Structure 1
Amino acid sequence: MASSRTIKACLFDMDGLLINSEDIYTISLTKVLETYGKPPLTWDLKIKLQGRPGPSASKLVIEHYDLPLTPEELFAKTTAVQMDLWPTVKFLPGALELLQYLDTKKIPFALATSSHKLNYDRKTGHLQHGFDLFRHHIVTGDDSRIPPGKGKPFPDIWFAALESLNKERKQHGQDTIDITECLVFEDGVPGVEAGKASGAYVIWVPDERALKVLAGKEKEIIGENNEHGIILKSLEAFDKTMLGS
């Protein structure tokens, strides 16, 4: 359990956790599906897409809806719809406040998002008052530090984010942080699985619509007795005493 751990750093997902960009993905994909006479994206598939790298997510959608497209073609079509919507993205409740708190308390934190660099820039360009706090500790889905095919649910992206923090700590003569001393903040099932596989303690903030689809399976995913993580309704509910400050 987290109470038995010393927490020294926090690692964050982005889409659906810090910002409401998951809603944009749903809107844009549904619009593309309409052009092929397909029904809207529903949460039984959505929960499988959250946190996955773009090509992997596109492949699942194509197979599910039997679309006559390649992953690259689907990605291009949804991207075109998203371009006008990214500037409307906002921080989710408690997200900016938590980042500011960590920065004030000098608790190390990093970002690990499956979004590729170009999409990351599009989503966050108008939100730099929050994302600037990550400084250079940002790992995107197309980062060379993540081996090919090792996006979430594999834990590699979390290790890369922590290594970014540790590299800086070494330069300043500070002790390195172990992954078991980290909190991983996630909203999607693949990211939660990746966090658990890494050995970190997971703070899971699932969308309430995802919980309806999971219908109790979330307890099985996160693990019994809060051994591997806890489930919160929002980042506003996060107990900062877990950070020992």
Structure 2
Amino acid sequence: MNYKPVTHTLFDMDGLILNTEDLYTIGFQKVASRFGKHFPFSLKCQIMGQQSREFAGSIIQALELPMTVDEFLVETRAIFNDLFPQCQIMPGVEKLLRHLHKHNIPIGLATSSSKETYDLKVTNHQEFFELLPYKTWGSSDPAVKKGKPYPDVFLAAAAKFPDHPDPEKCLVFEDSINGVRAARAAGMQVVMVPDPRLDKTLVPDATLILNSMEDFRPEIFGLPPYDD
């Protein structure tokens, strides 16, 4: 693979920076179980990266749940109010973000989450998320008309950088199929760190696929190498 040098970085949050995807699975299964239904990993892969109303509708339709989107969101929000503050930072992420910050590499957050759920998730990680000064919350930002796999969130996130870099100068970090497709649709390279259960043949568009962020080497994209 021919990796092209970049100057700016954009990070997804759920399942990439934080282990919230595991918590989403718990919450969605809890609702599904009320109706005797199972929330499968295959459905999880389909909805990852979607905005809240999009994934609610997808789950309701796929599992044939007798509830509206609003009812689903109200019920899951009550569950996530307890779960999200428990989330943890994924392996290798803090090292990379502190390294990029130290070397003055612009860092942006490009998440499909709303500002409301973001605040819950970062309850115990406030200082850490200050390393990402440019933030885009897809479910709350009017510039993001459609969720991933559409490119809106990454284009909106890149526009927040003061120097407005070209898309090809931005490197995206993602964990979902929809996220990879969105990044590529935005004209950006994308490093994918997927759930180990994911069939990697489903993401041929990923620039690079890693088992863990701990395996990432910044220098292959023209970024400063780690000091150690």
Bin for the TM-score computed over the shorter chain:
over 0.9
Corresponding pairs, count: 222
> Residue 137 of structure 2 corresponds to which residue in structure 1?
140
> Residue 172 of structure 1 corresponds to which residue in structure 2?
none
Contact 1:192 1:222 (C-alpha < 8 Å) held by counterparts = no
**Aligned-residue RMSD, C-alpha:** 1.3
Overall identity of the aligned pairs, in %: 37
Partner Cα separation in structure 1 for residue 115 and residue 223 of structure 2: 33
Partner Cα separation in structure 2 for residue 29 and residue 235 of structure 1: 26
> Residue 222 of structure 2 corresponds to which residue in structure 1?
243
Partner Cα separation in structure 2 for residue 115 and residue 26 of structure 1: 15
Deviation at 1:222, TM superposition (A): 2.6
Partner Cα separation in structure 1 for residue 120 and residue 222 of structure 2: 31
- Residue 202 of structure 1 aligns to a residue whose secondary structure is strand
> Residue 195 of structure 1 corresponds to which residue in structure 2?
183
1:164 pairs, out of 141, 160, 176, with: 160
> Residue 222 of structure 1 corresponds to which residue in structure 2?
204
Partner Cα separation in structure 2 for residue 243 and residue 186 of structure 1: 19
- TM-score when normalising by structure 1: 0.87
| 2:62 is the counterpart of 1:74 | no
- Residue 97 of structure 1 aligns to a residue whose secondary structure is helix
- Residue 112 of structure 2 aligns to a residue whose secondary structure is coil
- TM-score when normalising by structure 2: 0.93
Partner Cα separation in structure 2 for residue 243 and residue 86 of structure 1: 35
Deviations 1:208-232 (A, max 9, x none): 12x2xx3x523xx233xxxx51100
Deviations 1:221-245 (A, max 9, x none): 233xxxx511001111111112332
Deviation at 1:27, TM superposition (A): 0.4
- Residue 85 of structure 1 aligns to a residue whose secondary structure is helix
Distance of aligned partners of 1:90 and 1:2 in 2 relative to their CA distance in 1, 3 Å threshold: farther
Partner Cα separation in structure 1 for residue 152 and residue 31 of structure 2: 31
Deviation at 1:2, TM superposition (A): 4.7
Letter of the aligned partner of 2:216 in structure 1? F
- Residue 207 of structure 1 aligns to a residue whose secondary structure is coil
Question: Unpaired runs of 5+ in structure 2?
Answer: none
Letter of the aligned partner of 2:207 in structure 1? G
Letter of the aligned partner of 1:164 in structure 2? K
Partner Cα separation in structure 2 for residue 233 and residue 6 of structure 1: 22
Contact 1:12 1:184 (C-alpha < 8 Å) held by counterparts = yes
Contact 1:222 1:230 (C-alpha < 8 Å) held by counterparts = no
The structure that is helix-richer by fraction is: 1
